[in-house]
Chain A
């Protein structure tokens, strides 16, 4: 086990010594800061005046009446344009909050796609680059099984993805606090699941959203890892994975009316659909999606392992 840790340290040493790793991290940091600044300057996205005063219930009530008359024009806080949500708040005595750090952290979840992209690049390169550099010939002639080397590489990819997600979360929180302030570590978040309004603690809700977002990320990274292990070609693995990540939902929509569409990987990668929003296919449950994901995952891993451990390292 001890030399497994050493192998992961090796992979991290190689990652941290490559410029690309730092460039990717810098891009993420800059984009998060830039989006914060943008939201700060352009407050149409964040709303100026949420009804946070003592008579907020009354304000929300008036607003709902306006909304029901379809006179949307006067309302300045876009976060509170939903009649059912406002009703739920009034009934459950949950006072609205103005745009703050937590909202920014939730919005920064769009950058999980960027983290996916970077993780795909890392996952594709971590084995295929060894072939490209020729260093695979020095790597595999050690008293360590190929399976262990492959697994160490995979674990390094996962730790990279989680590290980037933590960076994203913490950075968004810091940028959020400094630009929009924080009402408190605890806050009640109101959201709709399949049309029904519910509440949750903002911290655990946001963390679970990030964790669920990482599911697609890990599936795509594992896919890229497999392609790289099979074809030993970084560009192919990156290209194919990014294409599928982009085209994923279109593929599902295209086959929407087929019986087997719900078995497509991309119909199941977004586990957030079971928490907030409406599932893509009626009748699929979170259990179903997890089963499908597990099947794909096992296939990806087994194929990677078979090709990496069984095939000869020939040619230049």
Chain B
């Protein structure tokens, strides 16, 4: 892997007598999208707040580009852009003035750079409007714009898709992927929604009750050869069931008109075309839980996820 831009070293946080974060130890590399996944209250936001210096660590340290957040905050934070929780802006000022405000707090940001980020997030038509009139999606974009002003090496986005509509989520996702692959930015994204994380992250760290319980590498979906659970709704059901058993050579379960079976993802199109050949009418086909989701739920327990 490439250079570790952020290193967490035994990061702990104790509030009162309660240990909220218990010795987190992991690295984030440039050009990757790192997902920070866990149920609500697991300590995602606390960890992010410690990364950006809003909260002090009780123990351990975070090193960003070789600078310790504890010892050398200014140097460390220079390389970080972020949104913590919601993208809150000054509602009485225009989007433009909001950006000017933050640009004055960082060295050497020109007007041209502000124009550049506005264009990057596609807000150029609405930038003169008051931020209070923006939709949540637009505020999210403005939030990303302010985070990118100083070309950070690490971009931290806390629940970036929170409150966005599906098209907004897709846009943000594409945008994050682009930043990571084209600009080599390390992006840290937190969420409690797994499916979302799977689609945008390279690696996912699962946190539960302040402990990092696992780091999973997300396979590129297209090359994945792992078995997926697929359910299909087709008539006639009996014919479909026998056909599926023949094709996959594995057991098929039936629940009313829905048939469920396991198959590698790459083989799904083949299965479908064979079924069609046999004169089966397919009404719907779904890939159920991924293996990651299974693992995730095993790890944190189904009841605790929203």
Measured CB to CB, the residues of A under 8 A from B are: 3, 6-7, 9-10, 13-14, 17-19, 133-135, 137-145, 312-314, 316
Structural contact, B97 and A17, CB atoms closer than 8 A = yes
Known contacts A14-B93, A17-B90, A314-B49; A143/B78 CB under 8 A: yes
Structural contact, A134 and B88, CB atoms closer than 8 A = yes
Across the A-B interface, the 10 shortest Cβ-Cβ residue pairs? A134-B88, A6-B104, A142-B105, A312-B55, A313-B54, A141-B52, A137-B84, A143-B74, A17-B93, A143-B78
Contact of B91 among A3, A133, A139, A140 (CB under 8 A): A133
Structural contact, A10 and B77, CB atoms closer than 8 A = no
**Residues on the A chain within 8 Å of B89, using CB:** 135
User: Which B45-82 residues sit within 8 Å CB-CB of chain A?
Assistant: 46, 49, 52-56, 73-75, 77-78, 80, 82
B106 within 8 Å of A (CB atoms): yes
Chain B interface size, under 10 / 10 to 19 / 20 to 34 / 35 or more = 20 to 34
Measured CB to CB, the residues of B under 8 A from A are: 46, 49, 52-56, 73-75, 77-78, 80, 82-86, 88-93, 97, 100-102, 104-107, 143, 146
Known contacts A6-B105, A13-B101, A142-B105; A19/B92 CB under 8 A: yes
The chain B residue with its CB closest to the CB of A9 is B104
The chain A residue with its CB closest to the CB of B146 is A138
Structural contact, B78 and A14, CB atoms closer than 8 A = no
Classify the interface of chain B: helix, strand, loop or mixed: loop
A312 CA to B107 CA in the complex, in Å? 25
Structural contact, A7 and B104, CB atoms closer than 8 A = yes
Contact of B88 among A9, A138, A142, A143 (CB under 8 A): A138
A145 CA to B74 CA in the complex, in Å? 7
The chain B residue with its CB closest to the CB of A21 is B92
**Residues on the B chain within 8 Å of A13, using CB:** 93, 97, 100-101
Q: Show 12 residue pairs from A and B whose CB-CB distance is below 8 angstroms, ordered by the A residue.
A: A3-B107, A10-B101, A13-B97, A17-B97, A18-B92, A138-B83, A138-B102, A141-B52, A141-B53, A142-B105, A143-B107, A314-B49
A142 CA to B53 CA in the complex, in Å? 9
**Residues on the A chain within 8 Å of B100, using CB:** 13
A133 CA to B89 CA in the complex, in Å? 8
Structural contact, B88 and A140, CB atoms closer than 8 A = no
**Residues on the B chain within 8 Å of A142, using CB:** 77, 102, 105-106
Structural contact, A144 and B90, CB atoms closer than 8 A = no
